[in-house]
Structure 1
Amino acid sequence: MSSSTSFQPNRYKDRHFDCDAVKILPGEYYATTDDTLIVTVLGSCVSVCLRDPKLNIGGMNHFLLPSDDSTTISSVSESARYGVFAMELLINQMLKLGADKNRLEAKIFGGGNVLRGLTLNSVGQRNAEFVVDYLKAENIPILASDLLDEFPRKVYFFPETGKVLVRKIKSLHNSTIMDRESEYRMRIRQSKPSGEVDLF
């Protein structure tokens, strides 16, 4: 069993799917060579599920562009730089596990306009646009996507097969999703990405 991440993953046994699972939170990512289920819950954040179909190496990230103000050039470039950083962290982990960048395929999710009333320049829409543009620029084909809309999503990624299941959360019983994203947004505003990530 081989996996790679920058944090201590939240592992559990998923009773519904009867398999080992890892839950990732905003700002986290996880890559693996085994059949560990990767799960996350998205509001306005986006997740990219990447996979090398030849070796069945898969990974998922969960990130947000930190800038809410897209009217200034500097905030746009800072924001995009953070998204690039988040993507390169995941790709780099997958390459360490043996994946070939030329074989990577993507499925992308999230970017919901979950904060009612913020339709203009919604952070969810900018996250969605960023991830589509990034993958096109890197020549990574997008096999499936479920972006925008107004509902949070729970995403289940099975790296072994590449299958992704998405459940829309139509009624929130508490504010946990929004609270996590707000706390994450504050955290990344205060700490800019340090250094460059080398791909190899």
Structure 2
Amino acid sequence: MGLQNSLPPEFDRGVVTTVHQGDCHVSNESDLTYSTVLGSCVSACVRDRVANVGGMNHFLLAEQSGSAKDRYGASARYGAFAMEQLINKVLTKGTGKKSNLEIKVFGGGKINSALDDVGLKNIEFVRQFLADEGYVATSEDLGGNYARRVLFKPHSGRAFVKRLDSDVGANVARDEAAFAKRRVVIPAPIDDIELF
């Protein structure tokens, strides 16, 4: 059973680009679809509705460090970087006006008991980030205890979410646990530079 059989017509043609953990892609191509699979991770889809430019990121807050500087730990600086990078790329390719942006957020599932509430931390983080920056998500599909595939058309802003069965979820959970165990230290962006 191919993925094509269960998709709305708009998503079953054209070019599909997979967005992996740590990626950030932006385009204005009308026949392009971004695709990602999320467990505990979160993806934001940001689009400039006037310029028809959009993009998708994919990130995981590995763990909370208890740092006084950042209530979600050092990894949240990576989350903030992932969000700022996506928003700034869309602003740069688009009209440059924050008021033209529409933002959709997905993921943060609890699919692995070993990762505790990483999904919840990701959800809290992305909601707090958007609130702090003065944005409101136009739609979201967050939480739950399942993995999901997210498809996003950057030109039109259409998004499609498919809940995945537990076998796929188990594979996603294993991949995310391996990533979290590596505790990859992502260099934090320099604090005194705003990327706008």
Tell me if both proteins adopt one fold, taking TM over 0.5 as the criterion: yes
CA RMSD of aligned residues (A): 2.4
Greater CA deviation, 43-52 or 98-107?
98-107
Change in 2 beyond 3 A, CA 1:142/1:102: same
Alpha-carbon distance in structure 2 between the residues aligned to 1:140 and 1:126: 19
Which has the higher mean CA deviation after the structures are superposed, 99-108 or 189-198?
189-198
Residue of structure 2 aligned with 1:110, choices 107, 113, 123: 107
Q: For 1:62, give the aligned amino acid.
A: H
Q: Does 1:164 align with 2:159?
A: yes
Q: Deviations over 1:37-86 (max 9, x none)?
A: 0000000000001011111110110001121x465646734132221111
Return closer, same or farther for 1:183/1:29 CA change in 2, 3 Å cut-off. farther
Letter in 1 for 2:14: C
Name the residue aligned to 1:150: 145
Greater fraction of residues in helix: 2
Matched, 1:41 2:37: yes
Q: 1:73 to 1:89 in 2, by over 3 A?
A: same
Matches within 5 A, 1:22-171: 22-35=17-30, 36-67=32-63, 69=64, 73=68, 76-100=72-96, 101-116=98-113, 122-171=117-166
Runs of 4+ with >6 A deviation: none
CA positional deviation for 1:194: 4.3
Contact preservation (8 Å) 1:47, 1:63: yes
- Contact between 1:26 and 1:181, CA under 8 Å: does it hold in 2? no
Q: 2:175 aligns with which of 176, 180, 195?
A: 180
Counting aligned pairs with the same residue, the percent is: 36
Kindly indicate whether the alpha-carbon contact (under 8 Å) linking 2:66 and 2:73 is maintained by their aligned counterparts in 1.
Answer: no
Give SS of 2:128's match: helix
Change (3 A) 1:118 1:198: closer
What's the secondary structure of 1:172's corresponding residue?
helix
- Displacement, 1:191? 3.2
Q: What SS is found at the alignment partner of 1:190?
A: coil
Worse-superposed segment, 94-103 or 189-198: 189-198
1:136 offset after TM fit, Å?
1.5
Q: CA deviation at 1:192?
A: 3.2
Relative to structure 1, the CA distance from residue 138 to residue 166 in structure 2 (aligned partners, 3 Å threshold; closer, same or farther) is same
Deviation at 1:153, TM superposition (A): 0.3
Structure 1, unaligned runs of 5 or more:
1-13
Q: What are the ranges of 5 or more consecutive residues in structure 2 without an aligned counterpart?
A: 6-11
Aligned in 2, Cα 1:85/1:186: closer, same or farther, shift over 3 Å?
farther
